[in-house]
Structure 1
């Protein structure tokens, strides 16, 4: 279905052109062509969220983070790609712009925004996620919006872009923040879909906490020099680098209160995404794998960087709360982002990790598999002019080995002017895709996604 979405006029904004340019059609395509052979064990939906503004009032001042959310999905079953569809998340503003009936529903502080960052399946609900105080929005199996979701009336505020479903307990954990709050909020929801616990941790200065880490017994809070400031021209809050703000890591016991947070000093940096954290047996240490930036860009700076200009590198942080120390070790010099692991290993020891490698001179972007025990890596690279998104690991079976499975990612094919869903064997990533599902349209560069197997209740 095509909507008369106003298109932004020509401008130098990199987030409104090229691979970032929004699409204006909602497409449904069935029986998609496939090159190669889809594994029959892949039975479910691959969903990915990203910004796709319905309307842009000020193209020159538009920021990528502010675009309305759009979910792109591919349904796989029995060796076939049954469908592709993309749908805007229907906040009231989006529904109104599309001339549709408003869904209404609960709100936090009256905020109405179509979540544009992640999609998570939990307790029978498929949720589009964003940070900053907005509620998640629930989607039906065909990606239509049901409405805002407040965990059956138990969510005390907004949620977060990144959540972790603990494989041991089945509980969902998140660290939420809102520019209007003088705190961040650690939230735990039970497998019944209701919030059973939350802790308000006081913090000054409106820090941006896009992600957090979770181990068996601890929650790690990244209080770093990126804060929300109000744009004097638009009135909106955007993240900016504050060189005067100290960097620190908070260690909160999972069952502890706000007064039990141990704050550890860090060198100035920013962590947008962590890979995983765990507690090595027989030690009092925490080990975290993450992507570290030396600094973050200022969203108000008219000289803002082009996409990919600021880069992050994979590091291992060894945290010793009793000593109050954090030891950093850089593990790789490749510029990378969007780290993922086998979801069955979350909060536990993991050997393998995956990330998107940024373009390099003479080389297109690619997907990287890290062997964190051997200190090695392997890559799959897409041609120059192409693009590849976050790689999501799907195990071959519930009891398969840690790297026995597939990595799924959207990749732009410049020759077709459209996007493929890549299916790569995790044990031989460099060999390239075992299958390519050819979508009929281009999927703009976006953020995060997940595999929702048919086995989910």
Structure 2
């Protein structure tokens, strides 16, 4: 029987939803923490085919820990309940619907709502404070299509900026701005080369930055498992759509979405013929105002941060040499490094330099400096593929140094987020919060580190594993 490293070890799904109010704690939880640490990730509910399963396509499950008054009040984990998951949990079979992709990538708070996110034009799902699913969210009908997994909040205005692509969006992506009341105030379509997987973007005080890179929609992968010749023939329509010539008719869109299994393959592939470039657009600009700059072929899932520096835009990114070329079950195409791209708008060129050649991913900064110059950045170390690593890096860009915190053999950290001690605290005066998995005990803990020293402040011990997943955030109490 075929195996899949993204279904084993730290990646293996769990089968139970927990609600626990008695949690063991080592150390002392700081009194200034009043809110929820939430993290989303794939956790297939039904049996999947190991030969076809892609890590990005598992059913979404949100894990959360509520902290207040120096105590861990609860731990909960819940599947993000779309119609298919509802049917399975009710004892039935998965429902074939165009909305069967479970939001498995990120979880944020905005305008008083808790939102589970996925990319590729999929739906947002609103959750309660206790992580039960309320239903789909379209921001009071103001969002015209799907959304992204990686919006960015402007720390000055509180508005949510995003760049969204879609499985059926052709050669266009959409830049949007959602105001603090939770309504879309601006949507701007932007033309790109073809149909890229535009996982993330960058935001500065003056610019929006697009990553048009050579991982693109592959109609063959999307339709390979469809037995019907009639349905396979829709690949021709898909191909026409992705180069921007026609729009896929709605009934075919629905049938295609239902065939891209929630626990199946990802229909994106490395495309060596596709140009690698980044686009820079003024925040209040439009498609005609985007300036495009070539870069060496690569792929970027996650920028660390970006900022304006005179006539230049500085982009700190985690750069993968390629993606989804030979390995089609998850990221495993070479060491991801921390690089800096400086876009010289006057000279019309990009300077590419390596900041750290050690493998790392899921980079984060203090959210108060998003789009502005940053001193610190945090990223867990990674090896290639599904092999766990045991360290967290803290980069100091003022002097080029890096602190390393090792959690010990068999203990692997996920993404860590920074929570400031107060609104006006220094950039590393606070804690870093993230899950750490212990392979020996098959359990996880929410670890709180002193952001200045990387020493453990507290650890909240959970009764089960939190499977290796994607993104989390600290949602402070209102």
Tell me the TM-score normalized by structure 1.
0.91
Whether the 8 Å CA contact 2:127–2:133 is kept in 1: the answer is yes
Say which SS state the counterpart of residue 259 (structure 1) adopts: helix
Choose which of 369, 392, 407 in structure 2 pairs with 1:367. Answer: 392
Q: Which residue is 1:313 aligned to?
A: 337
1:229 counterpart = 2:253: no
Q: Which residue is 1:205 aligned to?
A: 194
Name the CA distance, whole Å, in 2 between partners of 1:248 and 1:308.
22
Q: Which residue is 1:257 aligned to?
A: 286
Task: Note the alpha carbon deviations across 1:323-378, whole angstroms, 9 max, x for none.
Answer: 22111111112110000000011111110000011159x99421110001100010
Task: Note the alpha carbon deviations across 1:166-206, whole angstroms, 9 max, x for none.
Answer: 01111100000002112000011111100011111123431
Task: Note the alpha carbon deviations across 1:397-442, whole angstroms, 9 max, x for none.
Answer: 111001101101100122322001110000001xx31111100111
Name the CA distance, whole Å, in 2 between partners of 1:387 and 1:331.
23
Matches within 5 A, 1:15-414: 15-99=6-90, 110-182=98-170, 183-230=172-219, 231=221, 232-234=223-225, 236=260, 238-280=267-309, 283-298=310-325, 301=326, 304=328, 310-359=334-383, 364-414=389-439
Q: Which residue is 2:459 aligned to?
A: 436
With 362-371 and 392-401 compared, the bigger mean Cα shift is at 362-371
Whether the 8 Å CA contact 2:121–2:147 is kept in 1: the answer is yes
**Cα offset, 1:36, TM superposition:** 1.0
1:422 counterpart = 2:410: no
Whether the 8 Å CA contact 1:177–1:209 is kept in 2: the answer is yes
Whether the 8 Å CA contact 1:31–1:80 is kept in 2: the answer is no
Name the CA distance, whole Å, in 2 between partners of 1:22 and 1:410.
16
**Cα offset, 1:249, TM superposition:** 0.5
Q: Which residue is 1:5 aligned to?
A: none
Structure 2 unaligned spans of 5+: 227-259, 261-265
Name the CA distance, whole Å, in 2 between partners of 1:453 and 1:251.
32
Q: Which residue is 1:3 aligned to?
A: none
Change (3 A) 1:112 1:12: closer
Task: Note the alpha carbon deviations across 1:297-341, whole angstroms, 9 max, x for none.
Answer: 23xx4x557765632111111111232211111111211000000
**Cα offset, 1:234, TM superposition:** 2.6
Task: Note the alpha carbon deviations across 1:48-75, whole angstroms, 9 max, x for none.
Answer: 0000111134222111111010000001
- Number of aligned positions between the proteins: 433
Name the CA distance, whole Å, in 2 between partners of 1:160 and 1:194.
16
Name the CA distance, whole Å, in 1 between partners of 2:408 and 2:81.
35
Structure 1 unaligned spans of 5+: 1-9
Name the CA distance, whole Å, in 2 between partners of 1:359 and 1:134.
29
Choose which of 446, 453, 457 in structure 1 pairs with 2:476. Answer: 453
Change (3 A) 1:204 1:317: closer
Task: Note the alpha carbon deviations across 1:111-160, whole angstroms, 9 max, x for none.
Answer: 33220000111111111011011121001000000000001000011010
Say which SS state the counterpart of residue 303 (structure 2) adopts: strand
RMSD: 2.1
Larger RCO (CA within 8 A; separation ≥ 6): 2
Name the CA distance, whole Å, in 1 between partners of 2:193 and 2:405.
43
Tell me the TM-score normalized by structure 2.
0.87
Change (3 A) 1:319 1:306: closer
Whether the 8 Å CA contact 1:112–1:134 is kept in 2: the answer is no
